[in-house]
């Protein structure tokens, strides 16, 4: 599957990542592919504020561990709003809480293609978050 | 015979029927000799017997003088005749006469006067009677009584005899006396019955001829003959008796001519010896002598037999007493051996017992070192130090009692070291003052040499049979003891070693008897399974009670499977202790079978909780490392992107990117050590100054602040920020200008609700402001400070370019929440 630069056009994607560099790189990549980046947010507080402040969020890329705090409160809100999301993690699967086993996850560093498949499906996409 | 009638007494005359002829016959038949003499001692009548005995048979004596017929009538008889003629009546009951052949005869006689019709003494009548036989009978009786009295006397003396010799002396003297000999000797027959040995003698010179010391008891000697016939043998004349030829020279030397040999025969016909009596002149014992000799030699034989029996009894009593004592000693020594608490104590006791047994003066015990093949001294008694030093080790090659006993493996008795051993160690032996050794190798039941038990005597010494037998017992018991104690000690040592190892390793052990289901746990087993040691009885139920319910079925299954398959098993499961703590344990077990049936199961349990925790920690660390590495890759990716956005040429990118990677690398190596030493802000500043060569710029730079540990997550970003600031200062700022100065200060600000670390970066005296393009181009550093620090560390930052230089202020929270994360 090949992706052109406009695949993510008009998609509004939330980035939650505590590492500035990773967040910046992610944002930059997504922008290049036409997405509108919401955030990035480095803390759950900032992330929840961004969710509250944006009516439309098409997808979310969430770092699991934010300076030692789990991102689950943010994930809960997004699940409630049925926003597709993907967990980014440096840990293996076991470190993810049992309630979120249906959320697709990706190991850092992530690729744009991986994120797109995880969030919006495709021939190689992970199962729908629902 | 003509007898004058006138001489017939009146009374006879009145007997009408007694004729002269009758009278004559009467007289002749009387067993007496009678004669009638006139006053002139002329024969008037003589009986037939008188004429035969006193007149040599002459018939014509009537009318002749008695003295004419028999001129040898002794003077005292002539006087008797005169006294009888004078009217006296004389007689003698016993008178000894000498016969013409020299032999003696005894007579009873009577002489009395006869009267004629006128009452005058007409002459005398003499009546004589030969009483020799009677007297001799009387004498023989007397002698016999005396011999019996003597024998009786000897009997008493024999009973009192303190020794065989004393008794034999008594018998010998009595026999010599009985037979009228002058000397004699007694020989005793050897046990083999072939040789007679001189036991005692009387009358011989002190140096008895050698030939008499030992006489053959063969048939061809007089002694042999006497013994065989069991009858006395008389050699009446040693010079003429052919059977005595061999001893004739002895007889001449010792000056005797006749011998009587009386064999001493025991009650059951056993020949015991011979009493010989010797005579100066040729002599033959009378029948009476021989009869009495019978009594004597019987008495002597009785004495010998009784004495031997008593002696045997005495010896057997003494032997019994000795054996009883030896047995008691053996028992005592055995008790001491049993009570011995160590090998040394037991060997000392053995040595003391053996020395006591044999009455030895000193002794040693050596143990055999199978490695060096040497005997090593382990116990000793009675020796001086220098001897001990010399014989501390003994080799089988040496010609010593030890060496010989070692080589032969048998009991070695050296009765006299001077005679029986080579001169090799003579000086030592003399110094050690012993002359006899008994060396007994100590050999176990398997035939292995364990050591040597030896005793020593100051004088040459010979062991009796009984002593040898006892020594054999001592030697066997000593070997048993060494074997037993050695085995026990080896066993104890092995057990002790194993126990120590198990204890040190904190291993629990169990042992279950499959038939009785009896369990044995060691202390650690109780502890691992959360029981007080010994507080409960070990059992399968007690084990199962502590196994985590989730693991119980699986653990049981593993054990059952091992039993079924006859394999060893390894089982890992959790144990829940009463205090709620959970321990992971690993059990390794094995079933032992006999004839297909499980006999027992045995094994070890090990607490592996810590090991599992370490593995878990390691797993977490690896995950953490993976996380960090991936984060780092993302950071590198980001730096690359941003560096690319801020440069014009690939060469510039290379420089900048390289610098930033190096800074990133430095902080990574700092972080890898962060577990040991906290990273402080000062350390970060110094690290970057050093790395960029700014540390040599002396008074152009000043910096300082309190020791401030940083949290790990802040280190990377802060280090990168300081790197960017310093790089800028070196390229375009204070450190690139001759008049420029850099001041870096930090402090803890506690005035705000949360504690904050405030870093002030100030550059002064910068001659020329960098072109605005430059400042735009170096935007990565500014972005880092103005965006990344606030984003990542919740920092507040100010970045200001004034007329003479850069001012930068970074304030980051040191909230208590972060304390746990302080590196």
Q: Which helix (H) or strand (E) holds A79?
A: helix A72-80
* Torsion region of B274: left, alpha or beta (phi above 0 gives left; psi -120 to 50 gives alpha): beta
- Answer for the pair B796, B725: CB distance below 8 angstroms, yes or no: no
Whether residue B815 lies within 8 A of chain A, CB to CB, comes out as: no
- Answer for the pair B411, B440: CB distance below 8 angstroms, yes or no: yes
Q: Per-residue pLDDT averaged across B406-435, rounded?
A: 86
Architecture in CATH of B340-492 = 2-Layer Sandwich (3.30)
Strand residue runs (E) in B232-373: 233-235, 258-265, 271-279, 362-369
Nearest-CA residue of chain B relative to A89?
B627
Quickly state the pLDDT bin for B10 (edges 50, 70, 90).
low
Pick the CATH number of B138-313 from 3.30.450.40, 3.40.47.10, 3.30.2130.10, 3.90.420.10: 3.30.450.40
CA distances B256 to B260, B274, B281, B284, Å, are 11, 18, 7, 13
Please provide the average confidence, as pLDDT, over all residues in chain A: 79
DSSP secondary structure string for all residues of A25-71: HHHHHHHHTTPEEEEEESSHHHHHHHHHH-S---EEEEESEETTEES
Quickly state the pLDDT bin for A130 (edges 50, 70, 90).
very low
CA–CA dist B546, B575 (Å, integer): 5
**For residue B14, what pLDDT is reported?**
53
Contact B635 A42 (CB under 8 A): no
Quickly state the pLDDT bin for B522 (edges 50, 70, 90).
very high
pLDDT digits (tens, 9 = 90+) for B475-511: 888 888 888 887 777 777 778 888 888 888 899 999 9
DSSP secondary structure code for residue B785 in this structure: I
**For residue B157, what pLDDT is reported?**
83
**For residue B184, what pLDDT is reported?**
94
Q: Per-residue pLDDT averaged across B2-25, rounded?
A: 58
Residue B798 forms beta bridges with which residues? Answer: B809
Quickly state the pLDDT bin for B776 (edges 50, 70, 90).
very low
CA–CA dist B423, B432 (Å, integer): 15
CA–CA dist A127, A1 (Å, integer): 17
Identify the residue among B628, B631, B632, B634 best suited for mutation to test binding to A, counting A beta carbons within 10 A and taking the highest.
B634
pLDDT digits (tens, 9 = 90+) for B85-144: 999 999 888 888 877 777 788 888 899 999 988 888 999 999 988 888 888 888 888 887
**For residue B275, what pLDDT is reported?**
95
> Closest approach of chain B CAs to the CA of A61, in angstroms?
15
> Closest approach of chain B CAs to the CA of A23, in angstroms?
9
Contact A22 B821 (CB under 8 A): no
- Answer for the pair B358, B455: CB distance below 8 angstroms, yes or no: yes
Class of domain B638-819: alpha beta
pTM attached to this predicted model: 0.44
Nearest-CA residue of chain B relative to A90?
B627
The boundaries of every CATH 3.30.450.40 domain in chain B are: 138-313, 340-492
Beta strands B393-394; B195-202: pairing state:
unpaired
Structure tokens belonging to residue B104: 């003696």
The boundaries of every CATH 3.30.450.20 domain in chain B are: 5-130, 505-605
If contacts are CB pairs under 8 Å, which of residues 760-799 in chain B contact chain A? 784, 787-789, 791-792, 794
Quickly state the pLDDT bin for B822 (edges 50, 70, 90).
very low
Return all residues near B532 (Cβ < 8 A) that are at least 6 apart: B526
Instruction: Parse chain A into domains and list their residue ranges.
Output: 12-120
Contact B634 A25 (CB under 8 A): yes
> Which homologous superfamily does the CATH classification assign to the domain defined by B5-130?
PAS domain (3.30.450.20)
Class of domain A12-120: alpha beta
CA–CA dist B456, B384 (Å, integer): 13
Contact A22 B641 (CB under 8 A): no
User: Is the pLDDT confidence value at B230 over 70?
Assistant: yes
User: Is the pLDDT confidence value at B591 over 70?
Assistant: yes
Class of domain B505-605: alpha beta
Q: What angle do CA B785, B786, B789 make, to 5 degrees?
A: 55
Whether residue B642 lies within 8 A of chain A, CB to CB, comes out as: yes
Please provide the average confidence, as pLDDT, over all residues in chain B: 85
Lowest mean pLDDT among A60-69, B14-23, B30-39, B336-345: B14-23
């Amino acid at each position: 599957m090949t992706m052109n630069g406009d695949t993510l056009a008009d998609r509004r994607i939330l980035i939650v990542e505590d590492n500035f560099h990773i967040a910046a790189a992610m944002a930059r990549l997504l922008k290049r592919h036409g997405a509108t980046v919401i955030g990035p947010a480095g803390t759950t507080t900032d992330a929840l504020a961004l969710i509250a402040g944006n009516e439309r969020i098409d997808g979310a890329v969430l770092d699991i561990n934010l300076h030692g705090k789990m991102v689950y409160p943010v994930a809960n809100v997004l699940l409630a709003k049925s926003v597709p999301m993907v967990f980014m993690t440096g840990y293996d699967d076991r470190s993810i809480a049992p309630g979120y086993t249906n959320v697709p996850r990706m190991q850092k560093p992530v690729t744009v293609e991986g994120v797109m498949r995880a969030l919006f499906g495709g021939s190689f996409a992970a199962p729908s978050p629902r | 015979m003509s007898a004058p009638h006138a001489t017939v007494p009146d009374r006879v005359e009145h007997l009408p029927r007694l004729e002269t002829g009758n009278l004559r016959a009467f007289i002749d038949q009387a067993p007496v000799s009678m004669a009638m003499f006139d006053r002139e001692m002329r024969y008037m009548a003589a009986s037939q017997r008188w004429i035969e005995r006193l007149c040599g048979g002459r018939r014509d004596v009537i009318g002749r003088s008695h003295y004419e017929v028999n001129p040898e009538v002794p003077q005292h008889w002539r006087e008797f005749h005169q006294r009888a003629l004078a009217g006296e009546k004389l007689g003698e009951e016993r008178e000894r006469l000498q016969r013409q052949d020299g032999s003696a005869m005894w007579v009873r006689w009577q002489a009395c006067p006869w009267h004629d019709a006128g009452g005058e003494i007409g002459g005398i009548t003499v009546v004589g009677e030969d009483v020799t036989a009677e007297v001799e009978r009387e004498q023989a009786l007397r002698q016999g009584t005396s011999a019996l009295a003597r024998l009786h006397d000897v009997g008493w003396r024999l009973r009192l005899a303190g020794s065989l010799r004393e008794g034999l002396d008594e018998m010998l003297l009595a026999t010599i006396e009985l037979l009228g000999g002058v000397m004699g000797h007694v020989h005793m027959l050897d046990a083999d019955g072939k040789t007679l040995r001189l036991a005692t003698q009387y009358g011989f010179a002190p140096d008895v001829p050698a030939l008499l010391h030992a006489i053959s008891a063969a048939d061809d000697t007089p002694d042999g003959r006497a013994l065989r016939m069991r009858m006395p043998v008389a050699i009446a004349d040693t010079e003429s008796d052919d059977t005595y030829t061999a001893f004739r020279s002895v007889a001449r030397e010792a000056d005797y001519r006749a011998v009587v040999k009386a064999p001493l025969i025991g009650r059951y016909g056993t020949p015991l010896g011979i009493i010989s009596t010797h005579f100066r002149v040729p002599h033959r014992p009378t029948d009476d002598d021989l009869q009495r000799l019978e009594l004597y030699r019987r008495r002597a034989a009785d004495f010998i037999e009784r004495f031997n029996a008593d002696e045997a009894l005495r010896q057997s009593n003494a032997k019994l007493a000795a054996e009883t004592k030896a047995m008691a000693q053996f028992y005592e020594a055995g008790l001491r051996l049993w009570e011995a608490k160590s090998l040394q104590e037991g060997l000392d006791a053995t040595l003391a017992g053996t020395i006591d047994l044999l009455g030895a003066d000193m002794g040693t015990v050596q143990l055999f070192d199978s490695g060096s093949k040497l005997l090593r001294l382990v116990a000793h008694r009675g020796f001086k130090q220098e001897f001990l030093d010399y014989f501390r080790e003994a080799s089988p090659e040496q010609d010593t009692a030890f060496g010989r006993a070692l080589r032969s493996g048998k009991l070695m008795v050296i009765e006299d070291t001077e005679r029986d051993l080579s001169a090799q160690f003579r000086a030592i032996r003399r110094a050690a003052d012993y002359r006899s050794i008994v060396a007994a190798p100590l050999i176990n039941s398997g035939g292995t040499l364990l050591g040597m038990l030896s005793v020593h005597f100051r004088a040459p010494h010979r062991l009796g049979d009984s002593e040898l037998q006892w020594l054999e017992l001592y030697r066997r018991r000593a070997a048993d003891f060494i074997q037993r104690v050695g085995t026990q000690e080896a066993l104890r040592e092995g057990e002790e070693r194993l126990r120590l190892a198990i204890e040190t390793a904190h291993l629990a052990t169990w042992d279950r008897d499959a038939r009785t289901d009896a369990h044995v746990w060691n202390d650690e087993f109780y502890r691992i399974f959360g029981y007080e040691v010994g507080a409960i009885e070990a059992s399968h139920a007690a084990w199962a009670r502590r196994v985590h319910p989730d693991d119980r079925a699986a653990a049981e299954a593993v054990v059952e499977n091992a039993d079924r398959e006859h394999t060893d098993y390894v089982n890992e499961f959790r144990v829940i202790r009463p205090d709620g703590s959970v321990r992971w344990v690993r059990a390794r077990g094995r079933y032992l079978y006999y004839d297909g049936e499980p006999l027992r199961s045995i094994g070890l349990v090990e607490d592996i909780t810590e090991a599992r925790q370490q593995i878990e920690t390691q797993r977490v660390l690896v995950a953490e490392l993976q996380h960090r590495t991936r984060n780092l890759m993302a950071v590198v990716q980001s730096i690359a992107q941003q560096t690319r956005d801020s440069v014009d040429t690939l060469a510039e990118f290379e420089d900048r990117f390289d610098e930033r990677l190096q800074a990133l690398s430095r902080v990574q190596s700092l972080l890898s050590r962060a577990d040991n030493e906290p990273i402080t802000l000062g350390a970060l500043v110094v690290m970057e100054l050093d790395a960029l060569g700014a540390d040599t710029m002396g008074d152009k730079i000043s910096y300082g602040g309190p020791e401030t540990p940083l949290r790990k997550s802040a280190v990377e970003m802060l280090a990168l920020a300081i790197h960017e600031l310093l790089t800028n200062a070196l390229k375009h700022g204070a450190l690139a200008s001759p008049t420029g100065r850099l001041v870096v200060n930090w402090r803890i600000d506690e005035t705000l609700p949360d504690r904050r670390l405030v870093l002030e970066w100030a550059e002064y005296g910068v001659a020329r402001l960098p072109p605005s393009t430059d400042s735009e181009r170096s935007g990565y550093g500014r972005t880092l400070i103005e965006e990344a620090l606030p984003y990542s560390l919740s920092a507040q930052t100010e970045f200001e370019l004034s007329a003479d230089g850069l001012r930068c202020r970074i304030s980051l929270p040191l909230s208590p929440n972060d304390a746990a994360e302080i590196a």
